[in-house]
Amino acid sequence: MGRRYNVLLADASEEYRILMKEIIESSGEFRLVAHMGSGAEALELARQLRPDVVVTDAILSDMTGFALLDTLEGIVPERAMVTAHCQTPILLEVIRRQIRLFLPKPFREDALLEMLRRACNAAEEYRVSAQWEARVTRELHMVGVPAHIKGYLYVRRAILMVMAEPELAHSLTKELYPALARQFSTTPSCVERAIRSAVDAAWTRGDPEIQRSYFTMDKPSNGSFIAAMAEKLRLEAKIVVA
């Protein structure tokens, strides 16, 4: 038997938590590492336990499931929603946010397990990308970005996002900064300033000769820095963008 995937469940209904716990644990494929009705508790435990998948209801005791999924972006590999709240506003929000893993209640046991299998397949692909996170870390060190400053985490995540979606490099204020702000629980303006500070710090302490091998200009803008680093790594990874 292969490894069992870890699932964290947030659902305001104790009845459904018990039902899903029985289905998940009896499958032999998955392990329920925690279950609760509170979004705040789910977020805290997700950060501690790092499950493969977080499954949430649309409405929790203290926040919406959408708010929880937004905050978990970049923290856990995959996120899913299982809910009985299937009114039009909820369904429109699911579509708007492009939530791929969605299951209405009541559900069949095999439907829940199939959704979890799809989630865990995607989680495996996420882990492959972890090797590129290590490569981005190395490249940032090469150009002189200090690892101890806040902007380092933001710019590393930004490069990975632009590697996957190059068009984000042309939509910093509308898409990239807000997405990073949601992941790190801050504001887009703070993200922008922190990345600028990281680039400034690199040009203060980095090796100019190494920097010239990456960039065709003197100290680049945030967008130019992120785009150039992402493009170099994307070509090395041979990532094909449709």
- Is the same domain home to 155 and 221? yes
Output the domain CATH number for residue 42: 3.40.50.2300
Mark whether 13 and 117 lie in a shared domain.
Answer: yes
Structural domain count of the chain: 2
Does 11 lie in the same domain as 61?
A: yes
- pTM, two decimals, is 0.53
Domain holding 232: CATH number? 1.10.10.10
Q: Identify the pLDDT of residue 188.
A: 93
What parts of the chain have a pLDDT lower than 70? 1-3, 122-131, 237-242
Domain range spanning residue 174?
A: 144-237
> Which pLDDT score is estimated for 241?
42
Sheet of strand 102-104, all strands in order from the earlier edge strand to the far edge: 30-36, 5-10, 53-56, 78-83, 102-104
Same domain? 114 vs 154:
no
**Would you call the peptide bond into 104 cis, given omega within 30 degrees of 0 as the criterion?**
no
Q: What integer pLDDT is reported at residue 10 of this predicted model?
A: 96
- Are 87 and 192 in a shared domain? no
Instruction: Give the CA distances from residue 65 to residues 33, 43, 71, 207, in Å, rounded to whole numbers and listed in that order.
Output: 19, 11, 10, 46
Q: Between the CA of residue 230 and those of 32, 46, 133, 178, 196, what are the distances in Å?
A: 36, 28, 11, 19, 17
Residue 48 lies in a domain: yes
